[in-house]
Amino acid sequence: MRVLVTGAAGFIGTHVASALAVAGHDVVGLDALVPQAHGTDAIAPAGVHIADVRDGALLDSLLGDVDAVCHQAAMVGNGVDAQDLPAYAAHNDLGTAELLAAMARRGIDRLVLASSMVAYGDGRYTCEYDGSVGPAPRAVDDLAAGSFDPRCEVCGGPVRWRPIDESAPIRPRTSYAASKVAQEHYSGAWCTLQSARCIALRYHNVYGPGMPADTPYSGVAAIFRSALERGEAPRVFEDGRQTRDFVHVQDVARANVAALEALESHGVGVTAYNVCSGTPFTIGEMASVLADAARGPEPVVTGEYRAFDVRHVVASPDRARTGLGFEARVRPDVGLVELASARLRTR
C-alpha cells in the first residue's frame, strides 16, 4: 500500500514511517519542519517532502497515487494560554481540513489520524455514592493546601480514578486538546460526506528515543531526562502521585501499522482507540526510574501546581486489543530505563 505520512520528520512520525516501510508499505513523507519543533536549520530525512499540509495544491500532487494517509502532523504542546488558540486552529484544524479536502478530490478513503488522550481532559472516577463520574474542577484553596485529588462532580465527595475508555465524554481543557477533538470531528464529517473510513489513535504519554529534549514540544519524561543530563534533580509537581500511562514510541508506531491494515475491513466512519501501555505509572515513579537509571540526583517533589493540569488519566487498552489486535510490548519500567541513555532530539 502506498501511504502518505504527514509529520514524517517528527518524533512520532519518523518512527511511524519506518514501521510502515518495514511492514512492506511504500511511504511518502511530508513535514513542514516547524521551527518550534525542529529548529531553524533542520534538514528533512530522505524521501520526506518539506511542505505545509495546509498547501492544497501541493497535496494534490503528492496524493496522486496514494492509497491511504497517516496524519501525524500537528502543532503540539499544552496551549494553555487563550492567546494560543489561533495558532492551534491555524495549524491543526485548518491543516486537517485541507488534507481531508485534498483526499476527497483524489478519491482516497482511508485515514489513520493521530489523536490524543488530551481529548478526555481529566480522567474518569468512581464515587461511592454517584458511581462513574468526572471530576469537579480542583479548587485553588485545596491545591494550595496540598490536597491535589479531585472531588466528585456531583456530590463533592472523594473519588477513585479508574481506567478511561473510548466512550468517555470529550472535555478538552487546552488549545491543543480542542484542536485534537476538532481533527476527530472533521474526520467524522469527511467520513460521512465521502463514505470514508478513519481510525483515530488517541496516544497517551508517548516517550522514547528521538523525542524532543526540553522544548515546548517536550513531554515530561524528556524534561526530566534533560534535567538529569544537566546534573539537576527532576522537579516533580504536586505530590508526584499523578497517574498516567506512558507508552513507548515503538508501540505507537506498531499501533499505526495495525490501524492502517485494519482499515481494509473497517466500516464507514471514525473509530477511536486508546494507544497505551496498559500499565499505570505515577509521575513520581517515572522520575525515580529515570534518576536511578541515569545515576543522577533524586527527584524533588515541589508541591507546585498548575490549576489547568489534570490529576489522573489512565487508559483502558481493551478496545485496541480486540479491535486492532494491538497490545504494547514495552513496559514503562523497561522503556524508561532505556530512555535515561537514549539519544534525544535537540534543536
Catalytic residue, candidates 88, 120, 125, 176? 176
CB 63 within 8 A of CB 53: no
Task: Tell me whether residue 203 is one of the annotated catalytic residues.
Answer: no
All 3 cell numbers of residue 116?
490524543
Q: Which is it for strands 159-162 and 124-127: parallel, antiparallel or unpaired? A: antiparallel
Q: Which helix (H) or strand (E) holds 181?
A: helix 175-194
User: 120: exposed, middle or buried (C-beta count within 10 Å: 0-12, 13-18, 19+)?
Assistant: buried
Distance, in Å, from the CA atom of 310 to the CA atom of 174, rounded to the nearest integer, reads 11
All 3 cell numbers of residue 325?
489486535
Distance, in Å, from the CA atom of 70 to the CA atom of 67, rounded to the nearest integer, reads 10
Listed in sequence order, the residues at least 6 apart from 220 whose beta carbon sits closer than 8 Å to its beta carbon are 205, 283, 286
Cα distances (angstroms) measured from residue 53 to each of 7, 181, 218, 228, 282: 9, 18, 22, 36, 36
CB 336 within 8 A of CB 290: yes
Give the DSSP letter of residue 206: E
Q: φ and ψ at 36, to 5 degrees?
A: -60, -30
Would you name the residues annotated as active-site residues? 176
